[in-house]
Amino acid sequence: MKIVNYLTIMLLATFLWSCNGDEVKRLKEENSRLYKEIEDRDNIVNDMFKSFNDIEQNLAEIRAKEMIIKRESSVEISDDNSDVRDRISEEIQMINGLIEKNKTTIKRLQEQMKTSNIKISELEKTIDKLTKKIEEKDVEIETLKLQLEEMNIKVDELNINIEELTADVAQKTETIQEQTEKMNQAFYVFGSRSELLEKEIITRQGGVIGIGKYSKVSRNITADYFTQIDVRKTTEISLMCKQAKLLSSHPDNTWEFVESKNTVEKIVIKDYEKFWSLTKYLVIEIK
């Protein structure tokens, strides 16, 4: 009898050790994946801010060249001082090049934003700031154009169509608004284990002979059964259940369950930017 008890204890200990090993392995893999996602995100953000600095530097060069044109334009232009006319034309061509370079950089940034799904408030502020500067530059260019027309300088050399630039600004503003809304878009779902399994939102993994399994969010989930929200406006989600378990990946200290009288009333998102930094899908298993 003692031998049987001893064997039973040894088998149980082996089983528990195996389950713990699987869980440790899963946590290590999950940790490595999260570090990789954060590193990729940081690289994209750093590249974006470098591009912003390049645009700012180009705008400064444009301002400097505008001052040169204004200074040269103060000299009466005639056939005897055609070198002044040539210098103005050269500065105009350089301005054209800088403007085209900025347009190319902004277009690349917009493509990055479409594919990265990164939400950073300072990034949005910088985009708004650059948009305003583009609008101000349009006004300055229009004023310069009128001044050059008065001096009979060939304005066509500017190669700047104010209407086209205005349309570009309007389109960029609309695109930025759409991208801002998309970057602040997230989805949530909560339900019982059976409901989440039935809709293939989660899977059950690990364990031996049905013991020690754990729930995990499916890799290829869609938004079909989720509720869409704006993360800036939705910081609380009502649950009203006995128990709740967060299954999706979100940083610690960015959220909490609020309980009262043996009831989980809601989940409160304390820092929405960090909370949604790893995934845009919130999955909660309730009982």
Q: What is the mean pLDDT of each run of 10 residues along the chain (287 residues)?
A: 52 54 61 62 68 73 73 57 67 74 73 64 66 70 68 52 68 78 89 90 74 79 88 92 92 92 92 90 92
Q: Is 196 exposed, middle or buried (0-12, 13-18, 19+ CB in 10 A)?
A: buried
Domain with 218, as residue range(s), is: 185-286
Q: Per the structure, how many domains does the chain have?
A: 2
Residue 206, helix vs strand vs coil: coil
- The reported pLDDT for the residue numbered 155 is 47
32's tokens:
């490595």
Which CATH number covers residue 155? 1.20.58
Range 81-86, long-range pairs (CB < 8 A, 24+ positions) = 85/153
Residue type, 95: I
Residue 224 host element (H or E): none
Domain match, 257 and 281 both:
yes
Kindly report whether the global pTM for this prediction surpasses the value 0.85: no
Residue-level pLDDT at 269: 93
Do 278 and 205 reside in the same domain of the chain? yes
So what's the pLDDT on residue 10?
57
Are residues 45 and 170 part of one domain?
yes
**Can you give the pLDDT at residue 115?**
66
**Shortest CA distance to 202 belongs to which of 217, 213, 222?**
217
**Cβ partners under 8 Å of residue 15, min gap 6:** 208, 211
